[in-house]
Chain A
Amino acid sequence: GAVVSQHPSRVICKSGTSVKIECRSLDFQATTMFWYRQFPKQSLMLMATSNEGSKATYEQGVEKDKFLINHASLTLSTLTVTSAHPEDSSFYICSASMGGVSNQPQHFGDGTRLSIL
């Protein structure tokens, strides 16, 4: 159980394009979802935390107008990279938390490899 599906797994697009990444919790309700960015050979960098029905909390240095996060339901959060440029190319990973008494704080998706040409 506790599967998180992330789509698409890979996207290649031209500079200036906006890209939407979906994160779904398939068999549980996620009170909180997290979005991470990971550069090659580096750790996960938290971008933002979102709770269903409320505005996302962005980490310092992350542009909220650049990375739009919507957490419209308990099973779906989306990250939209607006007017993407080559420096936005990265591996984006979402995770979802059931909160409460779960022994596993976050369940991760398989990531989205974003390449901006």
Chain B
Amino acid sequence: QQQVKQSPQSLIVQKGGISIINCAYENTAFDYFPWYQQFPGKGPALLIAIRPDVSEKKEGRFTISFNKSAKQFSLHIMDSQPGDSATYFCAAIYSGAGSYQLTFGKGTKLSVIP
């Protein structure tokens, strides 16, 4: 059972455009939703995260939109740059379990073309 569904699998955006990646979750106990950025041959790095009591969070060019009723959240990258080309993973966690175990989406490979 895939608890976090991510789409699209791959995305090509022109420089300056907006990249949008969507995720949907099933477990309503999840209470923390991070996004990770991974470059080839590197480990994932936390990009931005949101809690379900907030509908939107913005950090620089990166924005998370969160829809609790629909159990969906998305990452928007404004003014996308070639340096943003990477694989992005959404994730969810139930911190109340005490284990801080992440449930990852399958990832989206973003290519930003000049």
Interface of A with B (CB < 8 Å)? 4, 6, 32, 34, 41-44, 46, 49, 91, 93, 95, 97, 99, 103-111, 113
Q: B34: which A residues are within 8 A, CB to CB?
A: 104-105
Interface of B with A (CB < 8 Å)? 32, 34, 36, 41-46, 49, 89, 93, 95, 98-102, 104-107, 109
- Which of A42, A104, A106, A113 is close to B41, meaning CB atoms less than 8 Å apart? A113
Q: A43: which B residues are within 8 A, CB to CB?
A: 89, 104-107
Q: A34: which B residues are within 8 A, CB to CB?
A: 101-102
Q: Is the CB of B109 within 8 A of A41?
A: yes
* A-B CB contacts (within 8 Å), total count: 54
Q: A108: which B residues are within 8 A, CB to CB?
A: 36, 43-45
B51 to chain A, nearest CB (A): 9
Grouping DSSP codes into helix (H, G, I), strand (E, B) and loop, the A interface class, with mixed when no group exceeds half, is strand
Q: Is the CB of A111 within 8 A of B89?
A: no
Nearest-neighbor residue (CB-CB) of A101 within chain B: B95
* Residue from A44, A91, A103, A109 with most neighbouring chain B CB atoms (10 Å): A44
- Which of B46, B93, B101 is close to A46, meaning CB atoms less than 8 Å apart? B101
Nearest-neighbor residue (CB-CB) of B46 within chain A: A104
B27 to chain A, nearest CB (A): 15
Q: Is the CB of A44 within 8 A of B89?
A: yes
Measured CA separation A43–B41 after assembly (Å):
13
Q: Is the CB of A106 within 8 A of B100?
A: yes
Q: Is the CB of B41 within 8 A of A111?
A: yes
Q: Is the CB of B43 within 8 A of A111?
A: yes
Given A43-B105, A44-B89, A44-B104; A6-B99 close (CB under 8 Å): no
